[in-house]
Homo-oligomer: A and B are copies of this chain.
Amino acid sequence: MNDHVHILVAYYSRRGSTQRMAEEVAVGARSVAGAEVVLKRIEEVQAQDLLDADGIAIGSPVYFGTMAAAVKAFFEDWQFRFDFYPSRPLRDKVGAVFVTGGQSAGGRELAMIGMLAAMLHQWMLVLSGESPIGASAATEIKPIAVDQTELAEAHALGRRLADVAKAMRQGRKIMAMQ
């Protein structure tokens, strides 16, 4: 049985921190056998990129306690440009989120919860990794914007996303044959 699994890692980044996390999520996803991983800025993501994926990770900076407006606009494109609602073609795809933000408890969770809600609204399944909500980096309270612990969290999130998406893909195949 073909055990490929397709993972899309999409991110928005102004100064590079979220991009650095995205790269590591992609590396983590690629560590799963059979994973084919596409890494793109959200500005370049087309409907087909989302439709082709079994697992989707989305990353955003945190501005003032929530995801960047640019990322929210991307989620709104899922309906307003891609016409995903109410048909919900992303149903049962697996989703995960990651963010970077300045302060310690400065909105990283709230940003991630909002992103997960957009995925759940499409009837995606969502998961997290070491932290309850997703992976994140607190970019302003330490010398290096994204440190090794945070990169490890991003790596683990990507790996887990690919692993679960693969299981889900194979399970759906089996059920379709029954």
Contacts and interface: CB of A to CB of B under 8 A. Distances in A.
Interface of A: 1, 3, 63-70, 72-73, 75-76, 78-79, 85, 92, 94, 103-110, 112-114, 117-118, 120-121, 123-134, 136, 138, 141, 149-150, 160, 164, 166-172, 174-175, 178
Q: Closest 7 CB pairs between A and B?
A: A171-B171, A65-B117, A167-B171, A109-B109, A69-B73, A69-B72, A121-B132
Given A125-B127, A164-B92, A65 B114 contact: yes
13 contacts: A64-B78, A64-B121, A105-B109, A105-B112, A105-B132, A105-B133, A105-B136, A107-B121, A108-B109, A109-B110, A123-B128, A123-B129, A141-B149
A31 to B, nearest CB: 15
Nearest to A107: B132
Given A117-B133, A118-B64, A171-B172, A108 B110 contact: no
